[in-house]
Amino acid sequence: MRSSIIIGQYVDKQSVFHQLDPRIKIISIFMLMISFLLLDTVTSYVVATIFVFTLIVVSKVSAIHIFKGLRPLFFILSFTFFYHLFLTKGHIIWSMGFITITVEGLEAGIRFVWRILLLVLLASLLTLTTKPLILAKGLENLLKPLAKFHVPIEQFSLMIVIAIRFIPTVLEELQRIILAQKSRGFDMQSLPFIKRVFAYIPIIIPLLFTTIKRADHLSDAIDARGYGNGKNRTSYMELQYRQKDWMAMCGTILFILLLIFIKWSGF
């Protein structure tokens, strides 16, 4: 189960993407996610897809590993697609009773699913190519101006990274509980879809219990290492911008300008 979840995992590779400053990666990916809201034509979607796949190649992370991680999103993507397919009004291309499929609904479904896939791939690249502690350090540096307003940025950045890191851990624990029930003769996969949904309800209690227990152990480990509130702590590795970081930022800005040009020109 853990191998099928890409968000929250780190893959150790020797690539340019891995060597970039975490602050540059956070800012660049955030800017790219915002720019993807401009996608409205086939050309812009194709250009964005080529760009994302280029980043995957540069990161040297296995494409098979990444796309296996998209399987847990199948339900969300399917729901998004069919929601727009059946509930968007327009030119009807097929109808049966109260169910109608329109050209606009088909286009909207494909467009939104495509955009979600690109956003998930971008977010995954950030965690796949950045160690959790380095990611926390980069986020803490970016949020430093908020410290003047007494915002606990050290605790906030650590909390965000731990939450991301806990995603595969919690899902792995869920799979362990399901396997334990299967060993007792209760196989949820053999149940109809509706019954399978309700069968997950009794699993929530032990899952919450183990998650809270893990969080408690993690809290004790942080206290045992004297982390405290995280203020005025020194770091073994100081972050410094290098030439490749500025080149990556320039590449991001040029790509965003390209998307703006495509949108304004109607190309």
Read off the pLDDT of residues 197-216 as tens digits, 9 standing for 90 and up.
Answer: 677 777 788 888 888 888 88
pLDDT of residue 54: 93
pLDDT of residue 1: 46
**99 bridge partner residues:** 96
pLDDT of residue 7: 61
CA–CA dist 52, 48 (Å, integer): 6
Number of domains making up the chain: 1
pLDDT of residue 45: 92
What global pTM score does this model have? 0.75
Given a contact cutoff of 8 angstroms between Cβ atoms, the answer to whether 77 and 113 are in contact is yes
Q: 245, 246, 249, 20: which is closest to 130 by C-alpha? A: 20
For CA atoms 130, 132, 136, 137, the dihedral sign is negative
- Give 86-102 pLDDT, tens digit per residue: 888 878 787 777 778 88
pLDDT of residue 170: 79
Write out residues in the chain with pLDDT < 70, as ranges: 1-8, 188-189, 193, 197, 227-236, 266-267
Q: How large is the greatest C-alpha to C-alpha distance in the chain, in angstroms? A: 67
pLDDT of residue 232: 65
CA–CA dist 244, 16 (Å, integer): 8
CB pairs under 8 A, 24+ apart, for 61-69?
A: 61/11, 61/13, 61/125, 61/128, 61/129, 62/11, 65/3, 65/6, 65/11, 66/6, 66/121, 66/124, 66/128, 68/3, 68/4, 68/6, 69/4, 69/5, 69/6, 69/7, 69/124
What angle is formed at CA 35 by the lines to CA 32 and CA 37, rounded to 5 degrees? 125
pLDDT of residue 125: 87
Per the structure, the complete domain to which residue 50 belongs is given by 2-265
If DSSP codes are grouped into helix, strand and coil, which group holds residue 98? coil
pLDDT of residue 238: 76
